[in-house]
Structure 1
Amino acid sequence: MIDLGLSKLALIGVVALIVVGPERLPKVARMAGTLFGRAQRYLNEVKSEVSREIELEELRKMQKDMQDTASNFEQSFAKDVSEVQSDLKSAWSDPTHDGVSADPLREPPNPEQIAVKAKDFRRKKLARTSAIPSWYKRHNGYRTHVISGAARVAKYRPAGAARKSPVSFY
């Protein structure tokens, strides 16, 4: 921009005073000020309009990118769903898919299989509900079943040491 120092402004004021005259100088100065203010407002409006247009173009571009991404995702999702549906239809129509019988009620499991499943279920349930992992218990020799002191005494008491009538502590 134009660099106006104090000396240049003073020179312009002296020339304006000589050219315009002292009686009309305040009117001309007011008019010049209003014109200068209007010019500044007009320039600011133009700048803001240009920046809005640039932002609008960026938003349009971003919207287009998002729509492209959404359509690509929708197409890939639809493709995956159709693949899964075709796999399910083929598995449903084939009664012995991967060697597994389609109807498990035709061949009941034998008792050994039931016992193995029950044992695995109990083992897995204990592993899920236990606070200490089973591998740690096996490694360090932790007891998996804890009994109270009174139950331990009753369990390991010799047969001859059992008393006939309990004696009161008091």
Structure 2
Amino acid sequence: MFDMGFGELLLIAVVGLLVIGPERLPGTIRTISLWLGRFRRSFNEIRSEIEREVGADEIRRQLHNEQVMASLKESEKNLQSALESTTKTTNDALQQIGNSIMPPEANATDKEDELGGTEITEPAPTDHSEKLNDEQRRD
């Protein structure tokens, strides 16, 4: 933890023996060991609490994101249904307009009778190259 080697620990023990004395040294070592143990436990508890808080924050963010996504999906469904109803209404209106502009099928057959029942056809294509050849021969 403090990155101390055996030689350093031996030096601390010798200084402690000289300063504290041989009678009180075992009790002092025991007390220091207890304090170090408490310090380690406190440090580990603080670390685990911070990790839990960070995890809780991540969970809160994830829940918030899921709520936002759910509201977006609900909005998408609402917009989709509104679009479908608008499309249906528009198509119905266009169909009604088309029916009012175009005559019914019975009127269409009457108009064919008025035209004499003839169909309008396109004129047959002509071969312009033959005409050009005839004109060139004449010249």
Shorter-chain TM range is 0.5 to 0.7
Describe the shift of the 1:15–1:98 C-alpha distance in structure 2 as closer, same or farther (beyond 3 A). farther
The SS at the match of 2:82 is helix
TM (norm. structure 1) is 0.50
Q: 4+ residue runs of structure 1 moved beyond 4 angstroms?
A: 88-99
Name stretches of at least 5 consecutive residues in structure 2 with no aligned partner.
100-139
**In structure 1, what is the Cα distance between the partners aligned to 2:56 and 2:47?**
14
The percent of aligned pairs where both chains have the same amino acid is 32
Hey, what does 1:24 align to over in structure 2? 24
Hey, what does 1:61 align to over in structure 2? 61
Hey, what does 1:13 align to over in structure 2? 13
**In structure 1, what is the Cα distance between the partners aligned to 2:92 and 2:70?**
32
Hey, what does 2:81 align to over in structure 1? 81
Hey, what does 2:35 align to over in structure 1? 35
Relative to total residues, which structure has the larger helix share, 1 or 2?
2
Task: Show CA shifts across 1:57-85 (max 9, x none).
Answer: 11111112111111111101111112223
Does the CA-based 8 Å contact 1:91-1:97 persist in structure 2?
A: no
- Give the residue type in structure 2 aligned to 1:8: E
Describe the shift of the 1:53–1:36 C-alpha distance in structure 2 as closer, same or farther (beyond 3 A). same
**In structure 2, what is the Cα distance between the partners aligned to 1:97 and 1:80?**
25
Greater C-alpha Rg: 2
Describe the shift of the 1:92–1:10 C-alpha distance in structure 2 as closer, same or farther (beyond 3 A). same
Describe the shift of the 1:20–1:91 C-alpha distance in structure 2 as closer, same or farther (beyond 3 A). same
> How many corresponding residue pairs?
99
